[in-house]
A and B are shown apart, each in its own frame.
Chain A
């Protein structure tokens, strides 16, 4: 399957949903008037794109119609595509041979940090990088075991302490070990935490400080993992994690599920952070670089 097909496949439900709404509107009216635009706005909101992003998109379409007089199906989708596209930024994660890169995976509980870490390890392994994982989730029962199982499956070294130990200490050891072994990618899997818990956010900031101090030359990517089913709270999450550890990118997981994934747009619009990865399925190959164009093509009808 090509990357586009993967996106398309993962987002089939969203695409069907948006396209169906569009086609229904187009069939009923043939061109777009105010009532239809209101409905279109609701379609975007239903895809979890968020109120601000949805309203802005509709305003842009209104503007387009006013300026060009083009209220056709294709014209409206084109304008919508342009607006949504301007809200999203993408960035590719890169590794450098012979140099240490660290991925710090953060997020609220249950978004898929451990699974994403494992998939990232597998991907880098396949490209012949020297990879290591650090089990810095010392809170959730059996999280360490889960990562170790993945470590065995992907033949990746896992640095772990006991449950309940200080995650910053795990990270410290992992960095020393990574330096000694000439590791090129160290993936730090942290415990899920609600962004409202100050002590847990402080703990994360401490991990970040340890990384900055112990591996000042390493390239650090601080990645927020967001579940595609998340609603508007995703925006608040992104802001809070950004404040605590200075994010460099967003990973959106479970895009193949029921969710329409509009939260990616909402978060990108509100924070300006780039989207770096998209989880499009349960298989290891289904973690892909986020592609703005493919993402939008996969959710909007053709025009």
Chain B
């Protein structure tokens, strides 16, 4: 049995074995339920939740037309997927206090990414017209407050720290006063983490809680966490009372099954997800996408969104215009390359394609091809980029030396450019009057 196989292929195998049989038996369904159980456990969904889920799904599968279906595997996947979406619930908005001063408090174990999440949340709210202030009441970890200060500066958000003060509650009080003085309308309180949910931690958190009276108590959960997620979330919920949680480090390849477990066991919603190391990488949570991810079925919607984010429409139009005017230059080719690179690493993109997911784990994508091509074009003069016909042997030697490549490499890029030009002319003619097609005609000739 391959490890971390996605659910589709797991069930596909069983369905293949079933094909040709005149009837699907209850035993077949039982086998499928076992595969579902394993897939969910591998995704770190809590065991109790898995048990409940497979019972529910089993009933649904027996009730539905799975048995008569030509593709029972796909039918079951659909049922599972829908069940997961149902549990994960709707997208939920962050609270805004009617008093005009909203307080967020972030909790979590050590190393889950509280401070980074605080800064990301600050930037997120700032970009939506709020005036947030960050305050760190972590009086334990060395340089924790300094970390918050640096991140807040990067985000361009107000902050208050007081590394000399030993009492978290006192810093919290000072933070509120400072925030009000600075006319901020939102306070984000970053708390200290612990290895474990202990009484001392809870007491300290409650003290801060009493001072700041948070409107939104958010637990920060690492996407890589295992079976213990539920116990931790329940402990925080019982002792402090949570309003929701933020799942971090979803830019890795952890399936994030903990989100499902916590949602199911605490009933509290996932409010945001952290998807990268940059401060802008905090996104609204989409239940359908996470459901696909937990099942290892890729994340098509994110892929599409990333693509449309990276492709600047104006840029695309400009390319089309230049193309029609027959003035597509090396510079345009360079800009297109940069857009492709903006979409993220190729490996990351491929991993989002359904069915490619985990099985492509060992795939080596040569992203250097793109980088090399870029380096070569960047070593050309502006005139050469505008008019590649100028590129004689001597110029090509200079470009090769300038970009640290060989003349053959330069020739290859020029050939790619020529091919692209030809291809695009065809496109341009085909596009004809419509002319507004957004599809970018980048070809297969980039050497990646």
Contact = CB atoms under 8 A, between A and B. Distances in A.
Interface of A: 42, 45-48, 51-52, 108-112, 139-143, 145-146, 148-150, 163, 194-199, 227, 229-237, 239-240, 254, 256-260, 262-263, 270, 281-282
Nearest to A193: B277
A141 B115 CA distance: 10
A229 B220 CA distance: 14
Contact of A236 (B111, B232, B253): B253
A231 B142 contact: no
Given A110-B110, A146-B147, A196-B253, 15 more contacts: A45-B47, A52-B3, A141-B115, A142-B146, A145-B142, A227-B111, A229-B109, A231-B254, A233-B255, A254-B111, A254-B195, A257-B109, A259-B226, A270-B3, A282-B195
A40 to B, nearest CB: 12
B197 to A, nearest CB: 6
20 contacts: A52-B1, A52-B3, A109-B113, A110-B110, A111-B111, A139-B277, A141-B147, A145-B146, A194-B253, A196-B251, A197-B345, A198-B345, A230-B225, A231-B44, A231-B254, A233-B223, A237-B224, A254-B111, A258-B235, A282-B195
A9 to B, nearest CB: 12
Nearest to A255: B195
A239 B362 CA distance: 10
B109 A231 contact: no
Contact of B367 (A198, A240, A263): A198
Contacts, number: 153
Q: Could you tell me the dominant secondary structure of chain B's interface residues?
A: loop
A91 B276 CA distance: 35
A48, A142, A233, A263 — which one has the most chain B CB atoms within 10 A of its CB? A233
Interface stretch (B35-43, B83-91, B180-188, B331-339): B35-43
B227 A45 contact: yes
B96 interface: no
A59 to B, nearest CB: 13
A116 to B, nearest CB: 11
B258 interface: yes
Interface of B: 1, 3-4, 38, 41-44, 46-47, 109-113, 115, 141-144, 146-151, 154, 194-197, 222-229, 231-232, 235, 249, 251-255, 257-258, 277, 345, 347-348, 351, 361, 365, 367
B197 A260 contact: no
A258 B232 contact: yes
Contact of A231 (B147, B258, B348): B258
A150 B144 CA distance: 13
A146 B141 contact: yes
